[in-house]
Each structure stands twice: as C-alpha cells, then as structure tokens.
Structure 1
Amino acid sequence: MTEPEKRQGRRRFGTNSVTMADVAEVAGVSAQTVSRVLRDPEGCTPQTRERVEAAIRSTRYVQNLAASHLASNRSMTVAAVIPQIAASVFAETLQGLSNVLLQAGYQVIIGHTDYSHEREEAVVRSLLGRRPDAFFLVGTRHTDAVREMLARAAIPVVESWAWTRKPIDQLVGFSNQEALAAAVAYAQRRGYRHPTFVGAARPGDDRARERLDGYTTGMARHYPGQAPRSLVVENLPYTMGSGSTLLEAARARFPDSDLLLFSSDLLASGALLACQRLGIAVPKQLAIMGFGDYEIARELNPGLTTIAVPTVRMGEEAARMLVQRLRSETPAARKRDLGFELIERGSA
C-alpha cells in the first residue's frame, strides 16, 4: 500500500470537502494530471486514467464544473435538439451521439421541438444561454432566427436525419427523397400497379414531407402517366392506432390501391395489424411498406418491408465530427451521406 493510500485509510472524505488535491494525493499524481484526466480522458494513458478514476471513486470526489467551465471557457456540453424524446429512432441517434461524446468528456443536454419551428427557436435560444460547446440538430430546415443565432454563437453545428446542399455548418444524414423514390422503384419491380403514399405529418415535420416529395418523384420516373396518389393527415399522433385510422381512410379514398407506402414503421405496423383484424391478407390483397426499420418491423408476421436508416451511426458520426472540431482538428469531410437500405420482408 502506498503512503497516500495509507493516509486515505486514516481519513474519511466528505463529498463537500474533497478537493482535486486530495484526489491527486490518493492517486499519487499531480493536481494538474487529475485535471487533465477530467478534461480529456482520451488524451491520457490508460494507466494514469485508471489511477485517477479509482481515486475519484474512493474519495467520492465531485468536480466543481461551474468553476472549471469559467476557467476554461468551455462547458463540456453538447446541445441536442430533436423533434420528440419518446420516439425510439431519435433515442437511438441520441444514444450513438452520447456514447462517443462521453468518451471525450462531454455531456449531452437535450431539447425537443414537438415538430414546431417556432418552438425550435425557443429551444435553441434557451440552450444557447447555457453556453454549450456545440449543437446537434435533427433536420435541415430551420427559421432564419435559428440560423442567425447559431451563426453568432460561432460553435460547431451538425445537422442530421435529412440532406441539403447548404447545411448550417456540418451534415450527417441521408436523403429522405431518394429513399422513397427507391421504394417506388421497388414497387414497380415487384409488379404493384397502384402504390399510394400514406402518412401523418405535423405542420413542422419536414422529413415526412420530403418522403412525400420522393414518392412523387419516384412515381413520375417509374409510373409515367399515372398521377401520384397520397393521403397525408396533419396533427395525427405518431401511434400504431393512427396507422389503423390511416388504413381505413386510404382504402376509402383509393380502393384500388395494391400497395400502401407509409411514412413511418409505426404507422405501417398499426395498419398491418389492423389488416389482420379485418381479414385483409397481406400482401396478397394489400401490400404494406414502412420507413425506419423499427424493432417491431422485424417481429411482425409477416415482417414489414421497410427502408432502414442508420439511426445509431448518425449520432456516432456526428459526435466524432463535433469532437474533432472542438479539438481544433479538421474533419475528413463536412458532409457525410450515410445512405439507406431497402429491407425486403413478407409484407410487400
């Protein structure tokens, strides 16, 4: 046992009284080394990091972040703005983001917009007041006020879950339009004659509308001369129950549809289960496709044909780009298209 460890055995640390010097004494390193491990754990050797972390655990040390942030002019936080906290796909992206940022010593603070551009302004303004070191945004369409606030902040920003030629700063995502155009191409190859787009869209849900645009483009390309048919209902909740509601409405408006292309797996799953209750054979009488490759898409019977997008990887790649910028490194690219994959299962 080292001398610092012997002294520790004779001294009981209270959370409020433990200092960085105490941690350094127990670990047998300097206070500057403790500070460096706390500030940039990946920049220290594994042996040093393990000694300091063990000393922190044993002393119950709690870092005074307010003081360290004032001294360094860094908050060691990244603000993430997402449409909904409850949505599993955005939670997966946040998980990927947080996994990488935590390793680099950063915490994530979250704000949600509920698909409202006006609320996004308020959320961004509020989060900027907490002085985050960077921003992560779901979506690429924002008000001028949001763009101006982020430009004035002069901090790294990554947008995601969509694609644009002119991002605010950096971009990690995929094209919703191209994904739905690919779904229409698949429908044409499989011999479906009357594919119909079905969705629920809040007024600020730009990604659902981008998918509708992609469906329209795909219809012009693969079904020339046939007018695109769509049913998009605003202000329906994103629930499986809404999928059942949309199924009924789509069949009433377009009774000869042989394939329904839903804007999300949640809606498509609700519609597929409703078909089973109504005795509609899927895909023989009516085929169904979704978007997102949610976990339920793989568990349904028949399984849901869908567009898979890299939810977790988007968060991970965004975090790596932000960390590089925060370390004054230059990312290999400012825009990264992660693409999508059409997953064929039994529903279409």
Structure 2
Amino acid sequence: MGATAPDGRSTSPGGPALTRRATRTITLNDVASLANVSPQTVSRALRAPELVSERTLERVRWAISTTGYVPNLAASNLASNRSRTIAAIIPTISASVFADALHGLDAVLTPAGYQLFIGSTDYDLEHEENLIRAFMGRRPDGMFIVGTKHTAAATMLLKNARIPVVEAWNWTDEPIDSLVGFSNHDAIEAIVEYVVGKGYTHPTFAGSFRPGDSRAVDRQQSFARSVQRLLPGEKVRVIDSGTSSVDLETGIALLDRTLAEAPETDVLMFASDVFAAGALLEARRRGMSVPGDLAITGFGDFEMARHLVPTLTTVSVPNREIGTSAGRILLQRMVGDTADPELLDLGFELMPRESA
C-alpha cells in the first residue's frame, strides 16, 4: 500500500524503498519524489524554511519523517567550508564545575546549529596537545579550552588554526586569542586575607597540585605568597595528595596527613570543595568541633557546600557563566559579528559561612 501525504495525495508503492528498513541510504531525491517537489525545494526547506510555503514545508517534513532521511552534513559542510562543530577540551568530565561550563556553552551554541566535540585531558598537557591535533583534523569552527598553560606545540597549533579560540578558568597577560575566566591567584589571596582577619594564624593548604593543573599550582603559589605577606615568619604548610583522585576519600586522607604532619594547624584550606567536604564530614564523625578545633575552607562553592553541617566557607566561581560567555564570544566571531578577541574577567566571590 502507498502512504498518504498531508494533502491527501496517495503515494505509489512502485517507487524507491522509502522506509526506515531500506537497505540503501535514503537520498534527498527520494524525499523530493515522495513530497512531489524538486530536490532544490527540499534543500531550501532544510536550509531556510522561512523561504518555503507552509503547505510545501509540511509535505517535505512529512516525507522526511516517512523516509527517515538524515541530511548529509558532511557534504554540506564541505561545500560551505564550515563544520558547524566546536571542540571543547576540559581536564575531566567527572567534575561538576566543568560540566556546568559545558552546559552553558551548549545552551548558546546548539540553538545556533553548532555541535560540541568534547575531550578530557586528565590534567596531562601532552594528552591535551594530542587532543588538539585530533580535533584540528576534524576542522572545528572554534575551540573552547580550559587553562592558559599549554605545551609549545599545542600553543603553536592553536595560534595557527585560524579559528576563534577561547581559553578559560584562569587569567594570563598573554592569551592565545580570547579569554574568559578569573584570577585563581587573587581568589586564594582573598580567602587567606579572610581567615587571617578572623584570627587564624597557622593555616595549611591542601590539595592535588599536579604539574598539568596550572590552576591548582597558581592557588598553591598564591597561598604561599599571601602567608608570607600577612603572617611574616610563619611556616608555609602545604599538603599535596599528588595524583590522587578528587574525591571525599582524598579529603579524608589530607585531613589525616595534616593532623599528623602539621598538628598546629588551626585552619585547613583546601584547593577544592570536594576535599573540604570529605575532611569536614570526617572531622565531625571523629567528634572534632569545626571551626572550634579546626576551621576548614574550600574552593568552588559546589552545591554541597551550602548543605554541609557546618556550612562551608569557600570561594564561588562563575562556572556556567564561563561557558555561556565563551559560547557568545565564539558565536560572534564565527558568524562575523566581530573579528576582535575578547578578554573577559568574570571574577569570583568569597562565601563566608560557618566552617571558618
């Protein structure tokens, strides 16, 4: 039996196999034949539906639905010299802060017809370089990349790509192209000033300071400088978990090491809310008073920070806004609204709560 078009026209069963079970690829010509329009009209309906009459558009859409036709984007992109894709490189997929940024990026770019390719580096700059090479081979129209420190080869690849690039999550005086972020150095300086102002004099900084995580290294260096400036003569205490995972268990391990190696610590400052949450929960389980016996601070202002008991003093950073701002900059550059790079410092906010 033939199918019935929206206008009541009965289609002939003697033509090409126009079903999802067809063994050959459905073509634009098949859609045009079923809709009883020209291939050019189908193409126009896909590219600029506002230029096609409502009745014709209804027939074309019905034919596409009936046949299961999928437009050949590769051919279209080749003709236009645009891939309609954005490469996004982040340190890890599991961290909510980067997921928030990707959601923001996607919210801006998907409605404009762009798709994201996502790669994670696990804080390995050599792996980042390999990802950049792989993505460049797919000719993305733009790139979003977390971090401002790269290998020399990766930097050259990004500069020579001739596409908009947005670096994020840190601040530098020498960005490759556009930059959206905040100063990790200034954020740590602000929270050290806060705890010293509250009367704490023996701070310890704890986290994972892998060489590939330049943001964590910046936080560590800022902590050291701030302590030396605000507490002259005070020992700079840093507890490094090395390559341990960013999870609650590592936070507990960092608490244990601090109590053993720096028992004089009166405020334990973590490079991530995840570590801080693990330490705070374990301290409470052991009967320790927070902040009475030991004050604790975090970094990131994850959702759990507001629900811990006591609530966690931390630094809030604009995770999703980083993504939406980067998406806006990329889109403006790709569609030709502007050719100029943009440098956008979104800042941070100190969140004083009960734990310190």
- 1:301 and 2:309 are equivalent in the alignment: yes
Change (3 A) 1:73 1:265: same
Give the drift of 1:314: 0.4
The aligned runs of 1:169-188 (5 Å cut-off) are: 169-188=177-196
Check whether the contact 1:20–1:34 (CA below 8 A) recurs between aligned residues.
Answer: no
Give the unaligned 5+ runs of structure 1.
39-43
Give the drift of 1:32: 5.1
Q: Structure 2: how far apart are the matches of 1:27 and 1:94?
A: 42
Check whether the contact 2:26–2:68 (CA below 8 A) recurs between aligned residues.
Answer: no
Match of 1:34 among 41, 45, 59: 45
Aligned-residue Cα RMSD (Å) equals 2.7
* Post-superposition CA distance 1:221-274 (Å, at most 9, x none): 332342322222311111110000001111212111111110001111110111
Q: Which amino acid in structure 1 is aligned with residue 26 of structure 2?
A: S
- TM-score, normalised to structure 1, is 0.88
Change (3 A) 1:54 1:290: farther
Give the drift of 1:21: 8.4
Change (3 A) 1:255 1:61: same
The aligned runs of 1:59-70 (5 Å cut-off) are: 60-70=68-78
Larger Rg belongs to: 2
Q: Structure 1: how far apart are the matches of 2:224 and 2:35?
A: 66
Give the drift of 1:199: 1.0
- 1:163 and 2:168 are equivalent in the alignment: no
- 1:286 and 2:294 are equivalent in the alignment: yes
Change (3 A) 1:137 1:27: farther
Q: Equivalent residue of 1:203, what SS?
A: coil
Instruction: Find the counterpart in structure 2 of residue 223 from structure 1.
Output: 231
Check whether the contact 1:306–1:342 (CA below 8 A) recurs between aligned residues.
Answer: yes
Instruction: Find the counterpart in structure 1 of residue 19 from structure 2.
Output: 14
- 1:98 and 2:99 are equivalent in the alignment: no
The aligned runs of 1:106-185 (5 Å cut-off) are: 106-185=114-193
Match of 2:334 among 314, 326, 341: 326
Give the drift of 1:60: 3.8
Change (3 A) 1:104 1:200: same
Q: Which amino acid in structure 2 is aligned with residue 114 of structure 1?
A: D
Give the drift of 1:166: 0.7
Q: Structure 1: how far apart are the matches of 2:153 and 2:107?
A: 30
Check whether the contact 2:241–2:250 (CA below 8 A) recurs between aligned residues.
Answer: no
Q: Structure 2: how far apart are the matches of 1:220 and 1:331?
A: 43
Q: Structure 2: how far apart are the matches of 1:27 and 1:236?
A: 63
What percentage of aligned pairs have identical amino acids?
44
Give the drift of 1:23: 7.3
Q: Equivalent residue of 1:5, what SS?
A: coil
Give the drift of 1:181: 0.3
Check whether the contact 1:203–1:235 (CA below 8 A) recurs between aligned residues.
Answer: no
Check whether the contact 1:196–1:229 (CA below 8 A) recurs between aligned residues.
Answer: yes
Give the drift of 1:37: 4.3
Q: Equivalent residue of 2:89, what SS?
A: strand
Q: Equivalent residue of 1:68, what SS?
A: helix
Check whether the contact 1:203–1:234 (CA below 8 A) recurs between aligned residues.
Answer: no
Instruction: Find the counterpart in structure 2 of residue 41 from structure 1.
Output: none
Match of 2:200 among 187, 192, 198: 192
Q: Which amino acid in structure 1 is aligned with residue 28 of structure 2?
A: T
Check whether the contact 2:26–2:67 (CA below 8 A) recurs between aligned residues.
Answer: no
Check whether the contact 1:258–1:287 (CA below 8 A) recurs between aligned residues.
Answer: yes
Instruction: Find the counterpart in structure 1 of residue 6 from structure 2.
Output: 5
Change (3 A) 1:289 1:57: farther
Q: Structure 1: how far apart are the matches of 2:167 and 2:313?
A: 28
Structure 1 residue runs of 4 or more that deviate by more than 4 Å after TM superposition: 7-13, 23-29, 51-59
Q: Equivalent residue of 2:241, what SS?
A: strand
Check whether the contact 1:80–1:137 (CA below 8 A) recurs between aligned residues.
Answer: yes
Q: Which amino acid in structure 1 is aligned with residue 137 of structure 2?
A: G
Q: Structure 2: how far apart are the matches of 1:247 and 1:154?
A: 47
